[in-house]
């Protein structure tokens, strides 16, 4: 699965991921976790259609949302009542970040974005670059699938999403499969209509970003105050049983 897949399903992405409802649920706990002043400057890497960025803007924050998928950025910019303090940029992080300076109070990398960033670059290099965008004291928050859970089970499948549109019932399933040093993500889209049932699969292989690897990097310069969590609500991380891995650290 490449960005071309996201371009094709861009207009269904919010339905597929429950984006707006999820942003509404997670916004209060993310703000509580970070404890940011109301006028903070936030970078969201992998902002997709901008649900969380817009919600953060409505709380008084200045937000830049970054995503390489053109259809996502178009949808993000077209959101109703988008606060003037929120802007979106279509770009890959590694192309965009140079010369930004220590500009942000927080950098968010949610929804399994970090493994995309490290597909062609060492994790330590990506983390160094993210750190360079933060002011001293700025915070980094990452959220991704926990590869140790997938390894323990062989595969892991979150709940399917189903919706109806134009007389067509769509079911979307995501399955994470252990492939040694990487995780395979298989997305299956099933449509049911008067014309019958159709199914299509997309596959992508992404590198594993392990809790030990993240911990080693975020315990070194320029990071401090590392916390590994099971979710953005702050629950304790269990290596073999937590579906998600959340990392929170502060730049010195």
β-sheet bridge partners, residue 203: 186
Domain residue spans of the chain: 3-146+208-251, 148-206
Spatial distance between the Cα atoms of 202 and 12, rounded to a whole number of angstroms: 15
- Report the CATH architecture of 148-206: Single Sheet (2.20)
What pLDDT digit, counting tens, does each position of 37-96 carry?
989 999 999 999 999 999 999 999 999 999 999 989 999 999 998 999 999 999 999 999
pLDDT value of residue 10: 58
CB 229 within 8 A of CB 248: yes
As to burial, measured by CB atoms within 10 angstroms (0-12 exposed, 13-18 middle, 19+ buried), residue 88 is buried
What pLDDT digit, counting tens, does each position of 125-151 carry?
999 999 999 999 999 999 999 999 999
Provide mean pLDDT across the span 104-121: 95
Length, in residues, of the chain:
252
Secondary structure element (H or E) that encloses residue 44, with its range: strand 41-45
What pLDDT digit, counting tens, does each position of 188-237 carry?
989 999 999 999 888 889 999 999 999 999 999 999 999 999 999 999 99
Strand 196-207 to strand 182-193: parallel, antiparallel, or no bridges (unpaired)? antiparallel
pLDDT value of residue 52: 96
Query: What pTM was estimated for this model as a whole?
Result: 0.93
148 alpha carbon, distance to own chain's centre: 18
Spatial distance between the Cα atoms of 43 and 182, rounded to a whole number of angstroms: 27
Is the model more confident about 125 or about 20? 125
Fold of 3-146+208-251: Rossmann fold (3.40.50)
């Amino acid at each position: 699965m490449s960005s071309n897949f996201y371009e094709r399903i861009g207009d269904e992405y919010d339905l597929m991921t429950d984006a707006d409802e999820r942003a509404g649920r997670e916004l209060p706990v993310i703000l509580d976790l970070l404890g940011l002043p109301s006028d903070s400057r936030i970078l969201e890497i992998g902002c997709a259609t901008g649900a969380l960025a817009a919600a953060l803007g409505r709380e008084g924050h200045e937000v830049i949302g970054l995503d390489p998928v053109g259809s996502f950025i178009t949808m993000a910019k077209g959101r109703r009542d988008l606060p003037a303090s929120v802007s979106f940029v279509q770009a890959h992080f590694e192309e965009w970040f140079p010369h930004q300076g220590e500009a942000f109070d927080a950098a968010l990398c949610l929804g399994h974005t970090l493994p995309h960033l490290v597909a062609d670059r060492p994790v330590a290099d990506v983390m160094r670059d993210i750190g360079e965008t933060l002011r001293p004291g700025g915070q980094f928050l990452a959220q991704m699938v926990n590869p140790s859970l997938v390894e323990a089970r062989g595969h892991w499948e979150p709940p399917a999403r189903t919706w109806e549109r134009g007389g067509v019932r769509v079911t979307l399933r995501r399955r994470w499969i252990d492939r040694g040093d990487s995780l395979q993500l298989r997305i299956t889209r099933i449509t049911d209509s008067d014309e019958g049932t159709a199914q299509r699969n997309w596959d992508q292989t992404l590198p594993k970003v392990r809790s030990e690897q993240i911990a080693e990097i975020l315990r070194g310069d320029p990071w401090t105050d590392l916390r590994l969590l099971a979710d953005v609500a702050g629950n304790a991380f269990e290596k073999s049983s937590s579906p998600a891995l959340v990392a929170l650290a502060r730049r010195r």
